[in-house]
Structure 1
Amino acid sequence: MTPGPTDPPQSTRAAVLIPFGIVTLIWGSTWLVIRDQIAVVPPSWSISYRFLVASIAMAIYAGIKRESFKFDAHGYA
């Protein structure tokens, strides 16, 4: 008999569920902003500031995690 699948450790489950919950909340709430800006903000500006906010958030995250902003050959593949 082969043993059945084992449950992942609790720390692994939390490491997956917490970021998943955060992404779900952020992604699910964007429709509120999009709905309110549709006839008020030109689409090009909307896209521009969304990418600006995302890039700032990613830079802050990379800084906190002490990640390098440089890519090696595998970073471009």
Structure 2
Amino acid sequence: MTEHDTVTLDRLRQVVGEIDEAKLVAILSLDPSLAEVEESAMRADGSADLQRECAGKVAQIVDILTADIEEEH
């Protein structure tokens, strides 16, 4: 699998972990690349030391992954 291949449900779970089914469906509906999912997961958990702003699908996936966290604050 290359970083530009379509992400499957199983691969998505491997990258982002066990999350709510609705979030998985929302992410898959964006048809992201593996690279986009991996970058999003790193940004969402704070492990990414990335200087540039995220945009496009990455930003949308980060929003999906962090939706519950933002509601708690």
* TM score, norm. by length of structure 1: 0.25
Greater RCO (Cα-Cα under 8 Å, separation 6 or more) = 2
Bigger-Rg structure (1/2): 1
Choose between structure 1 and 2: higher helix proportion. Answer: 1
* TM score, norm. by length of structure 2: 0.26
